[in-house]
């Protein structure tokens, strides 16, 4: 930012680079819409009204709003590298994201964070990061790295690091774990916010969690939960991802009194949803359709996250703010007709401009260490009934059932007649051979198996299936690809997607990734799967910080008790 040029341009002493004329400008400070011209110099908005300009573009009375901001996203969940992710979401009007590289950090540690920072350079949008706070998320799983306060400290003054990322280990907070509190203190010393992750936390435990200095949450699933947290002063991020969709449940909480402490986030969104539905723009449209005032919906996508994360130069159309702008014709259903990043037209009508350069790819190390020949999925029968993970459609929370097992030749096996399938998590980082085994209800598979190396949060390999042979075939495919997704039947792979970047992401174009995911989902449906996206659901079943019953490489985890529990119950 050349301050002398900016000031001279703002005073009209030199021609500006661009004027967007005849616009209807959405003022997110006042909530008003006014007509006028927007002047841009050196990539920044410098004023309004008539200016001598090198280039003038007539908006024709269309609306111009600040570029949208995703307040919390794991780019890895798009299963594409940063370059392809950026090109997909900027076309939807997202000109900034606050990304938590938690997923790749759990695989590669500091090397993963460095990879994301380097990959974010030269992109046609602002890519900010929060610093992963929970690597690993718990001691009930094996991750590829452990990041201590000392490991994180060198990153805290990086200009792209805005906050300490979601503090999932809320038991560690309220029980005063020294390492956890040390990370929070580290962020507070440099005056950076601490994001929260506290599903269902309430009352005195919530008070203690917030008293530690945690200021946001994106895990609310009910209006009651959101109201309690808002009333206590939390900022609420309303999430609409692929697996977890909370907008409909939380939209009644949004009003003129609460909205300025609320914002939108996608958290985890698969390529097909980005390409078919959009990104933050889809949430804005859905909120408006639900009856929310359009300007409030846009404030939640712009100035609210900018102020929360203390990003002073984005989030509004005002002098001194970056000229990151979106243009659309219909205020009640905003689809992006033009997107500007730093005053440069980067996308039109949902397509990235062909003039936008593609940064060179960043190299990455391999991340698979599994001896598939040593894997045994069988579960010898023990006395009693079994704990079964119970899937809740469209949510990442699960239930828990105690059921009678199906027994065959002295082994507990899948029972498709009751939709009880076998599930396993295989450790892939150290080659330890650790494997947790259990059962899950809700996939609907009648034959075959599906598997993934995307398994939050430690991203070991997770497999679910109707029989051991197909589970092993799917596992072998994952290891051979260096990570990815696979579906198998009759001991053969029927669909797959390679994710060689940490077992999480591909460098293929996002459309190609989406096509392969579509084939995987179709293959899973041919095997009987009933979920909209069985692979996204599968990826969250190893997340031991979301209630109620999950599975890791160390076994079944009762999240409420926060410990590993036995499969068989007397």
What's the pLDDT score for residue 120?
Answer: 96
What's the pLDDT score for residue 502?
Answer: 94
- Residues in the chain where the model's pLDDT stays below 70: none
pTM of structure? 0.92
Query: pLDDT digits over 172-212, tens only?
Result: 999 999 999 999 999 999 999 999 999 999 999 999 999 99
* CB burial string 470-493: b at 16+ within 10 A, e below: bbbbbbbbbbebbbbbbbbbeeeb
What fold does the segment set 3-61 form as a domain? Urease, subunit C; domain 1 (2.30.40)
What's the pLDDT score for residue 137?
Answer: 82
What's the pLDDT score for residue 210?
Answer: 98
What's the pLDDT score for residue 339?
Answer: 98
How many whole angstroms separate alpha carbon 280 and alpha carbon 32? 21
Chain-centre distance for alpha carbon 128: 13
- Give me the CATH code for the 68-291 domain, please: 3.20.20.140
What's the pLDDT score for residue 360?
Answer: 77
What's the pLDDT score for residue 230?
Answer: 98
Residue 235 vs residues 214, 267, 289, 331: alpha-carbon distances, Å: 10, 16, 23, 26
What's the pLDDT score for residue 361?
Answer: 77
Q: How many CB atoms lie within 10 A of CB 547?
A: 16
What is the per-residue DSSP string for 29-67? TT--EEEEEEEEETTEEEEES---BS-EEE-TT-EEEEP
Chain-centre distance for alpha carbon 114: 18
280 within 8 A of 301, measured Cβ to Cβ: yes
Using omega within 30 degrees of 0 as the cis cutoff, is the peptide bond preceding 548 cis? yes
What's the pLDDT score for residue 226?
Answer: 98
Q: How many CB atoms lie within 10 A of CB 35?
A: 10
Query: pLDDT digits over 339-364, tens only?
Result: 999 999 999 999 999 989 888 777 77
Stretch(es) of the chain classified as CATH 3.20.20.140: 68-291
What's the pLDDT score for residue 422?
Answer: 98
Stretch(es) of the chain classified as CATH 2.30.40.10: 3-61
Nearest to 374 by CA among 467, 299, 479: 479
Helix (H) or strand (E) holding 228: helix 223-231
How many whole angstroms separate alpha carbon 504 and alpha carbon 76? 6
What's the pLDDT score for residue 142?
Answer: 95
What's the pLDDT score for residue 536?
Answer: 87
What's the pLDDT score for residue 393?
Answer: 83
Residue 524 vs residues 294, 451, 489, 518: alpha-carbon distances, Å: 39, 10, 10, 10
């Amino acid at each position: 930012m050349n301050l002398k040029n900016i000031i001279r341009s703002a005073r009209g002493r030199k021609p500006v680079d661009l004027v967007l004329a005849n616009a209807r400008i959405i003022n997110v400070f006042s909530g008003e819409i006014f007509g006028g011209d927007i002047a841009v110099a050196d990539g920044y908005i410098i004023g309004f009204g008539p200016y001598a300009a090198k280039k003038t573009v007539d908006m024709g009375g269309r609306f111009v709003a600040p570029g949208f901001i995703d307040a919390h996203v794991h780019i890895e969940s798009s299963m594409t590298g940063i370059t392809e992710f950026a090109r997909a979401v900027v076309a939807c009007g997202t000109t900034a994201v606050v990304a938590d590289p938690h997923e790749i950090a759990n695989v590669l540690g500091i090397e993963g964070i460095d990879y994301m920072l380097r990959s974010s350079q030269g992109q046609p949008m602002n890519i900010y990061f929060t610093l992963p706070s929970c690597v690993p998320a718990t001691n009930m799983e094996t991750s590829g790295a452990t990041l201590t306060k000392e490991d994180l400290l060198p990153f805290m003054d990086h200009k792209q690091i805005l906050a300490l990322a979601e503090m999932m280990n809320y038991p560690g907070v309220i029980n005063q774990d020294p390492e956890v509190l040390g990370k929070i203190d580290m962020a507070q010393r440099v005056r950076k916010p601490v994001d929260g992750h506290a599903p269902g936390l309430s009352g005195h435990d919530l008070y203690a969690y917030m008293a530690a200095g945690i200021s946001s949450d994106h895990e609310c699933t009910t209006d009651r939960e959101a109201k309690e947290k808002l009333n206590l002063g939390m900022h609420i991020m309303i999430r609409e991802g692929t697996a977890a969709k909370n907008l409909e449940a939380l939209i009644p909480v949004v009003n003129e009194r609460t909205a300025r402490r609320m914002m939108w986030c996608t958290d985890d969104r698969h390529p097909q949803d980005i390409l078919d539905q959009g990104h933050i723009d889809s949430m804005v449209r859905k909120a408006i359709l639900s009856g929310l005032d359009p300007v409030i919906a846009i404030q939640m996508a712009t100035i609210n996250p900018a102020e929360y994360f203390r990003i002073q130069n984005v989030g509004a159309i005002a002098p001194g703010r970056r000229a990151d702008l979106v243009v659309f014709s219909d205020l009640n259903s905003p689809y992006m007709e033009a997107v500007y990043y730093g005053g440069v037209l980067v996308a039109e009508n949902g397509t990235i401009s062909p003039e936008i350069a593609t940064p060179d790819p960043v190299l990455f190390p391999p991340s698979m260490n599994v001896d598939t020949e040593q894997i045994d999925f069988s579960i010898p029968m023990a006395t009693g009934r079994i704990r079964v993970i119970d899937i809740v459609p469209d949510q990442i929370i699960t239930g828990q059932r105690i059921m009678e097992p199906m027994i065959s030749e002295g082994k507990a096996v899948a029972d498709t007649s009751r939709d009880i399938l076998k599930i396993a998590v295989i450790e892939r980082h150290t080659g330890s051979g650790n494997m947790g085994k259990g059962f899950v209800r809700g996939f609907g598979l009648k034959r075959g198996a599906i598997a993934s190396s995307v398994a939050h949060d430690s991203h070991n390999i997770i497999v679910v299936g109707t029989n051991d042979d197909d589970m092993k075939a799917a596992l072998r495919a994952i290891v051979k690809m260096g990570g990815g997704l696979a579906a198998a039947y009759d001991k053969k792979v029927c669909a797959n997607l390679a994710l060689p970047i940490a077992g999480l992401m591909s460098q293929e174009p996002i459309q190609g990734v989406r096509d392969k995911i579509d084939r995987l989902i179709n293959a899973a449906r041919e095997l009987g799967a009933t979920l909209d996206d069985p692979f996204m659901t599968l990826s969250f079943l190893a997340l031991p910080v979301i209630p109620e019953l999950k599975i890791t490489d160390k076994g079944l985890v009762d999240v409420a008790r926060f410990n590993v529990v036995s499969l068989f119950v007397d």
